[in-house]
Every structure is written in structure tokens, then in C-alpha cells.
Chains A and B, each alone.
Chain A
Amino acid sequence: MSLRLDPREHAPLFLRLLVSLVAGLAALLLVAIPVMAAGANPFEAYLLMAQGAFGSMFALSETLNRATPLILTGLAAAVAFRARLWNIGAEGQLYMGALAAVMVGSGFLQLPAPLAIPAIMLAGFLAGGLMMVIPAMLKQRFGADEVVITLLLNFVVILFIQMLIEGPLKDPLAMGWPQSVPLVAEARFDKLIPRLRMHWGLIVGLVAALILWLMVKRTVLGFEIKAVGENKAAARFAGIPVDATMLKVALISGGLAGLAGVSEVAGVKGYLSADLSPGFGYSGIVVAMLAGLSPIGSVLAAIFIAAVFVGADSMSRATGISNYLADLVVALSLLCVLVGGFFLRFRLRWQSRQEA
């Protein structure tokens, strides 16, 4: 008997779902090792995490609150990766979106609520989008790798934000804390349920996922993005404007990440600070990969990742195990789903071999 690999012709939907599910579970199982190394009982830890993430209305609201930016950054990564545009800069785009929201929505423009919210969303979308269009153009014009540039821009943006909130945008009433002037009340997202932190940003994320799903399945743009992503040469030969399509993808991807920033400012904090995002941009990559780059899947994956973070925080408070455990789960999920991708491309087969 020997093991051999056969290329798969199709990976049916259930298999793709299964791979994501197994990858998430495998990541959770693998962290039992560090949990035990930290001297705790893994089953207890899992139970505490589950309770912390889903155990009450409050916990659920916290999880969905945490999932909101992850849905948007996950979609940002998914749409870019579909076109083989490696946007690793969602973190920076998120901050630029948040910055734009604050600049437009902190009283500088006097707008009534029905206009203020669309205005900050549009501004955030464009600011985030621009932040990705620039590297995409540098790639087209100069052949410069977008991966490294988007990664490096993340550092530039955060320094830029620090500069502004310690300088021109600093809130004079914040008792010296480096944070921006707040958004006016008209520009803030309402809570979905009184006394819980979940806010309208979640609806924004869900609608964005639906629109993206529609785009992928039903529109010419989705068709062209797929062609460009899967085979640039054939797409170009067939007359699809490859460069223009890539720029559209960059705008959408960066824009979605920018919306995540808007949502955090308008829905959670109310102002901009340099700790607005604990790595939502990077986690978005994991969300997208766990979702198999599917827009609807991104919603589910974002909720999973959010639950891990919220659950780990709560478990950490109870047991003293470091909440970096959550980051471990996230990283392992990415690697596990990557390995799962291997099984989507190949099937393992036992075969008997007669010795010739």
C-alpha cells in the first residue's frame, strides 16, 4: 500500500466549508499545548472562552462588536486576494479611513445626521481606497512589489496619525491624552440595542458583504476581477483592461478597510487614537483566508475570530493565562486553513502497488 496524491477536479462547497471549520477547530486544539504549558487545564480554558464569547447577551454583543471591523477588513483582503493583489496594508487603510471620518465629522462641516453619516463613510472609503490605489499604481508604473509597500505604509500611517493627534487634531479637552477631537453626535453610529455596545457598523459590514457577494457572482466587474486574478495574460489577451480592473480592486479593498476605521470611530470610540485597532488589518487577512475568500464566509470567519479574541480576554482575566493566546489561535488558523487548501487541490489516496 502506498499513499498518493491525485489532483482534484472540483472542490465542492461542503468540502470548502469543512476545511475552514476543521482549520479553526485544529487551531483551537493546537493551543491546548501552550495552555497546558502555562499550567492550566485546557478544557476549563475552552469553556471559559466559550462563555466569554457567547455566554450572555452582553458577551454576544461584545463578540459582534469585535467582529464588525473584522468583517470589513476581511472583505478588504478577500476582494484583493481574489484578484491576486496582495493588500497587507488594511491596518494603515483602516487608520486613514478613521482619520478621514474625524476630519469630516468633527464639526468642521455642519451637516445634519442623515448627511453626516454618509459623508464620513464616503470620506473614509475614499481615504482608505487611496491608500491602496497608491501601491497598486506603484506596482503598475514601477513594478514595485505591493506586499512590502503596503506593509511599510502601515508603519508610516500610524506615525502620521500620532503626529496629527499630538498636533493639529489634538483634543484640547482630553487632559493631555493623545487623541483627536471627537466626532459630533450627528456623525456617530447608533447602538443597535440600548446598553449594549453593538452598533450600526455591524449592519454596514453585513450590507458590504452582500454587495460584494453580488458583485462577485453577478456583475461584469466581478467577472473581470476573476479573470484578471486567475490568469492575467489571458484576461489581457481577451481585452479586459487589466490595469484599470486592478485599480478598481485596490479602491474597493482599501475602501472597505477604510470603512472599518470609520466604523470603529463612529461606532465605538468617538474619536481617533493610535490604539484604535489592535491589528484588525492583519486579522482581516486571516478572516479572508478562513472564509476561502468568500464574502459571506468572511462574516462567519470574522465572528469566529472575534469570539476567539473576546473569549480569550475573558478567560485571561479568570485564569491569568496571557491573552496573547488569542493571537496564537488566529495565526494557527491561518496556517491550518492554508494546509487545508492543499487538500482542496489534491486528494489523498491509498493504492495498492504490485511490484513490477
Chain B
Amino acid sequence: MDVLLDIFASANFWAAAIRIATPLIFGVLGALICERAGVLNLGIEGIFVAGAMAGWLAVYLGAGLWGGVLIAALAGALFGLLHAFLTVILGLSQHVSGIGITLLATSASYFTYRTTLPDVSSPPRIAPFQPIAVPGLSDLPFIGPALFQQTLLTWLALVLVAIVAFVLYRTPLGLAIRAVGDNPASVEAQGLSVRGLRIGAVVIGSALMALGGAFLTMSAFDAFFFGMVNGRGWICIALVVFASWQPGKALLGALLFGAFDAFQIRLQAEIGQVVPGQVFLMMPYLLSILALVLVARKADYPRALLQPWTKGQRH
């Protein structure tokens, strides 16, 4: 019991939880925007890889950290545009297109990395984002170290939660996005473009997903590894359902997840000799499955999710 208390009372634990949650916040927000508009984007896993690789490579080649963030977002937007073309314009299966985008973005990233850096034996490093200390606040007990060990990208993620929530619930654009994911006919009958809204949402959402990947190589670590995304994208898809497509709950879900993950890492240090390490590593995936199973029945799915739309269509 004391072990557990020690873990939860440690500011470092909470700092780690927030760090682990950050890429998920980006990813869940991105997936949420796409799905609110009625498009499932299973390209997320590959877009994470593309964001991680493109952002890192841009910095490695001298673009500067924020230049890297921008490049990562552009890479994500590009794959989002492809997904939108296939699913929104051509009306093809969102499932299959998303898997295709993941395969393409992953292989394109790996290929680019290998082609650009053919002769490296160990992954080269960049100087990543550094934690920003706010004088005064950082010295607060507990909260200070937990919150102010974070980099600007984490703050960006938190600000984005507020922005996405505001746009979704407080502006005409958000109104239109929520409407197009529920009943595209309502949007068309009011003279708005179903396709325009959906394409926009998928592109923006995909750019956010890519930022989740960029966080991995530019803040959490300082290099790009094969397999480093490791299912984080899929976890985001499960978290969106868990969050009922609401930005606030998405933040909460990502933080809970981060806390759990940080917890299992520390638990592993404590009882790792008795229980094989893989048991701990399995936990995030099993937790996501459990979350999905528990909320699925009650989930308020956007009604038009997965449904292609052709102009003037009746139902």
C-alpha cells in the first residue's frame, strides 16, 4: 500500500502522466474533429509516424523546432487530404482507406528516413523542446514540478483542447461540423457544402494527429525509431469513443490513460522481478479495449459516421 501512496504522491509521477498523455491529446482531438464531421480516420496510426518522422527530419536538416512542427502538421494534412479525397469525394470505404493511409504513411516515412540517412548505425539526435520553467510557479510544491516540467508542445496541446471545444460549441463553424456528422442533408438544405466541411475537418484533424507524432520525436525523445508509435494512434480511436466525442472528456481520458501508463511503469520498477514486464506493457492496450467495451453501448456516435454522401441524396 505504501508503494502505491508513494507513487501517487510523487510530482514526477504526475509529470510523467502528462507527458505520456500529450501525444494522445493531439491524436484524440484530431480523430474527434474528423469523426464529428462523419469521417472515421484510421490513417491516424500512420499519420503519427509521418508526423514523427517529418518533424524530426525537418529539425535534423536545420528547419528549427517550430519549423519542424509546421512540417509535421503539413505532412499530416497531406495524408488527411488523400483520405478525404478517397472517402468524401469518391465515397469509398472509410475503413479500408484509413488502413491504406496508415500503411502508406508508415512505409513512406520509413523509406524516406532510410533513404535520407542510409549510413547511420544508431539514430541521430536533435536538440528537442525543453521544459519551460515559469519563475515563481515552477517552485510551487507538487504542482510546480508536475506542470512545469512540460515543454511548449504540451501547453500547445492543452490550449488546443480549449480552442477545439470553443469552435465546436460556440461558433457557426462548429455548428456546421456537428450538423454534418449527424445529418448531412441538414447542412446541404441550408446551402452549406457537405464536402467542403468534411474535407476541411479531415485535413485539420489529420494535421493535429501528426503533431501527436511530432511530440514523440521532438519532445518526449530526441530521435526517430522504427515502431515508436506502437499503437498510440489506435488507442486514440478508442479514446474518442470513451470521450463521447467531447474535447473536455477527451482531455480527461488522455490524462487518465497517461496516469495509468505512468503508474504501470513505476509499478514495474517495484514488482518487475515477480511479474514479467510484458504484462505491464500489455496494460495500455487492454485498458483501451476495456474502455471501449464499457462505453460502446451508451456511446452517442455521430449518426452519419462512416456514411458517404452524394449531393442531393435522400434517405
Contacts and interface: CB of A to CB of B under 8 A. Distances in A.
A34 interface: yes
A54 to B, nearest CB: 23
Q: Please list the 7 inter-chain residue pairs (A to B) with the smallest Cβ-Cβ separation, ordered nearest first.
A: A327-B107, A331-B103, A322-B114, A331-B104, A163-B278, A144-B296, A324-B111
Interface string A253-274: 0000000000000000000000
Contacts of A147: 42, 95, 237
B213 to A, nearest CB: 17
B238 A328 contact: no
Interface residues of B, number: 47
B282 A324 contact: no
A145 B241 contact: yes
B166 interface: no
B108 interface: yes
A338 B96 contact: yes
A257 to B, nearest CB: 16
Given A160-B278, A163-B278, A324-B107, A338 B115 contact: no
Nearest to B46: A331
Given A37-B115, A155-B285, A166 B276 contact: yes
Contact of B107 (A38, A152, A321, A331): A331
Interface in B258-315: 276, 278-279, 281-282, 285-286, 288-289, 292-294, 296-297, 299
Interface stretch (A55-63, A120-128, A282-290): A282-290
Interface in B81-113: 82, 86, 90-93, 95-97, 99-101, 103-104, 106-108, 110-112
Contacts of B297: 142-143
Contacts of B118: 320, 322
Contact of A331 (B91, B100, B241): B100
Contacts of A149: 289, 292-293
Residue from A37, A138, A156 whose CB has the most chain B CB atoms within 10 Å:
A156
Nearest to A149: B289
Interface in A269-325: 282, 285-286, 289, 320-322, 324-325
Nearest to B275: A163
B293 A142 contact: yes
B70 interface: no
Interface of A: 34, 37-38, 86, 88, 138, 142-145, 147-149, 151-156, 159-160, 162-163, 166-167, 282, 285-286, 289, 320-322, 324-325, 327-328, 330-332, 334-335, 338-339, 341-342
B288 A152 contact: yes
Contacts of B241: 145, 148
Nearest to B226: A324
Nearest to A31: B111
Interface in B25-63: 42, 45
Contacts of B293: 138, 142, 144, 149
Given A327-B110, A327-B111, A332-B104, 16 more contacts: A37-B115, A38-B115, A142-B296, A147-B95, A151-B45, A152-B235, A167-B276, A289-B96, A325-B111, A328-B108, A334-B99, A335-B82, A335-B100, A338-B86, A338-B93, A339-B86
A163 B279 contact: yes
A321 B115 contact: yes
A338 B292 contact: no
A331 B232 CA distance: 20
A270 B296 CA distance: 41
Contact of A148 (B82, B107, B234): B234
B104 A328 contact: yes
Residue from A144, A320, A338 whose CB has the most chain B CB atoms within 10 Å:
A144
Given A138-B293, A334-B103, A341 B92 contact: yes
Contacts of B278: 159-160, 162-163, 166
